[in-house]
Amino acid sequence: MKQKLLFCAAVMLALTTSCTMKENPLLEASQNPYGAYSFDKIQNSDYKPAFEQSVAEAKEEIRAIIENTEAPTFENTIEALELAGSTLSKVENIFFNLNSACTNPEMQAIAEEISPMLTEYSMSILLNDTLFQRIKSVWESRESLGLNQEQARLLSETYKSFAKNGANLSPEAKEEFAKVEEELSVLTLKFGKNVLASTNAFEMNLTDSASLAGLPAYVVEMAASEAKSRNEEGWTFTLDYPSYSPFMKYSENRELREKIWRAYGSKSVGGDNDNLANILKIVELRTKEAQLLGYKTYAEYALDERMAKNPATVENFLNDLMTKSLPFAKNEVAQIQQFAADNGFEGQLMPWDFSYWSEKYQNEKYSLNEELLKPYFRLENVQAAIFDLANRLYGLNFEEDASIPVYHKDVKAFKVTDENGRFMALLYIDYFPRDSKRGGAWMTEYRGTSIKNGEEERPFVSLVTNFTKPTETSPSLLTFYEVTTILHEFGHALHGMMAEGTYGSLTGTNVARDFVELPSQIMENWAYEPEYLKTFAKHYQTGEVIPQDLIDKIVAAKNFLSGYSQVRQLQYGIIDMAWHSSESVPTDDPVAFEQEVLKNSAVMPAIPGIVTSPSFTHIFSGGYAAGYYSYKWAEVLEADAFSLFKEKGIFNREVSESFRSNVLSKGNIEDADILYRNFRGRDPQPEALMEKLGLK
């Protein structure tokens, strides 16, 4: 393998000398504008000492609460606990966010080394009986304390958090629970590490120009640039989405399409980066964790505090949508099969054929393809447009600030203010793929919103994607899918940037898993609105505004393969629930298990050895275990919510201010269903999604 790890600026530089604790930039008070973190000064050698010192400091803060001789009160117990460990939280946020966005082998080793320490610290709090008795004392007297809404919510969430993490267990069970948590923390890190390594391990280097038949010029140029960066001849394709996806859509070489498709679909299956055994152990440990707490399955445990409440509700939700969507999906596949046959394809359409023939079908039916649209979606214009949308809806302003330290040269930092000049947030944007960044797109926070010692801390929000990099002859041009992706993640960013509240654990995106996708998914709707598209979709060479006929085609093609896409998304949710709804480990063969689970919803031939679970980072190394259904759940919410914008006007400030005040700014101050009703005036109407997708 000729890949070279691209170390990321100063953060990635492993020095032979170590800093003293006094010099550790992770522990020093910031001297940067807005309190921004000194990413430019952080070295790998800083992390472990920072963790050790901040854990020790946090333990002292917890000890002070436990040993307080005064009677437990909200202030000396619940609020004190909320504020304890703030330095550790800072170190954790910086390290683990960078371990996803800008990692290297040394950081990955540090992650595995410090994970048991962090789990031990967490369990030492959650399983401390003296501390829990103080919390319980405050909880039991809550009605007489005169707490405001935020305080009452913090008390409730604190008590439930301890109860759900074993505080009511016997000493023996607590010890067992702590061991399970420690092992889980290591395994989930290892799972994600294996997926990244497996993704980076594959490359397809082509030296014969004939093998590039069908590929657009931008794809060829990107592959040439990739080969050059690896000191290779010809053209190199990888499993990173900007490389993999267009190859599958445009390459006329069916054999090569199959090769890269099989590599993508078998990530972390076998070999040095195998995750099959990790899946079984993670599921076993999660099931044990739930059963120690009195739940039958992990799904029961995970769903207890979400909008859906229980596995039956989720399974009925997924099955109902699957039943309604499957006939549409099968019909769409049949249409693509017929189209391929009419154009000379012989035999059954295979999975590695579907993107290729779908693209051709879409181009013929709607005269629309990515090559036609990309020139109108220059990255800089799209960025300006999402900033403008936030300004029109919420009065936010974005100003790039080069004085803010960043962790990689590709990252840009922006000061965000509201229409009154109030500082709202720092926004870091990291657009382009590299070997040190995991795939996909996400939003995260380096710091959340809170009020400490009477001073407000505004959030540091990060938006990370893997978009096509500019080349020597072309700027970064986005596919329409990437336009909707950045709108989606920017919706999460808005949720973080417009957070209000006293307690960090209740603000921003710290909401129920099946509610957190509402602010993100609703933003995708604007990409299909002509009134919005015309403000920014301009040809990068001529400056021509996107023609109305192209907009009409985008809108007309909006629900192209919507049944197929919905079924695929539902399948992810079904896989997730299948792994987490059993009272024991379901199987010793994850590949066979997944294919059995999906056999009744299959719309394409199943291929031996091709499986989602071993690279399903959302549920095995992210926070979506027994929660992947939430994407579809939130789609119902956002389809219903956006209908109000459609009714009143897509830039209507009255509606957007209501969405801001009732949803975006509220965090977890109330149950999600109450927040939604406060905005919409009623419960969501499930049929809104099927109508939006044209599946009626």
Average pLDDT of the residues in 601-623: 94
The residues carrying an active-site annotation are 489
Q: How confident is the model at residue 353 (pLDDT cuts 50, 70, 90)?
A: very high
Please report the pLDDT score of residue 44 as a whole number: 97
Q: What is the pLDDT of residues 232-249, one digit of tens each?
A: 999 999 999 889 999 999
Q: What is the pLDDT of residues 428-485, one digit of tens each?
A: 999 999 999 998 999 999 999 999 989 999 999 999 999 988 988 899 999 999 999 9
The DSSP secondary structure of 351-411, one letter per residue, reads HHHHHHHHHHHHHHHHS--HHHHGGG-BHHHHHHHHHHHHHHHH--EEEE-TTS--SSTT-
Is residue 20 scored above 50 in pLDDT?
A: no
Q: Which of 7-21, 169-183, 544-558 has the lowest mean pLDDT?
A: 7-21
Please report the pLDDT score of residue 1 as a whole number: 33
Q: Which helix (H) or strand (E) holds 538?
A: none
- The region that residue 656 occupies, defined by phi over 0 for left and psi between -120 and 50 for alpha, beta otherwise, is alpha
Q: Which domains does the chain have, with CATH numbers?
A: 10-126+128-164 (1.10.1370.40), 202-265 (no CATH)
Phi, psi of 389 (to 5 degrees): -65, -45
Average pLDDT of the residues in 518-527: 97
Please report the pLDDT score of residue 8 as a whole number: 42
pTM, to two decimals = 0.84
Please report the pLDDT score of residue 658 as a whole number: 98
Query: Quick one: CA torsion of 134, 135, 140, 142, rounded to 10 degrees?
Result: 120
Phi, psi of 378 (to 5 degrees): -65, 135
Please report the pLDDT score of residue 687 as a whole number: 86
Share of the chain above pLDDT 70, in %: 97
Q: How confident is the model at residue 9 (pLDDT cuts 50, 70, 90)?
A: very low
Average pLDDT of the residues in 507-523: 95
Is residue 368 scored above 90 in pLDDT?
A: no
Q: What mean pLDDT is reported for the chain?
A: 94
Q: How confident is the model at residue 21 (pLDDT cuts 50, 70, 90)?
A: very low
Q: What is the pLDDT of residues 286-342, one digit of tens each?
A: 999 999 999 999 999 999 989 999 999 999 999 999 999 999 999 999 999 999 999
Neighbours of 108 (CB within 10 A): 17
Q: What is the pLDDT of residues 253-266, one digit of tens each?
A: 999 999 999 999 99
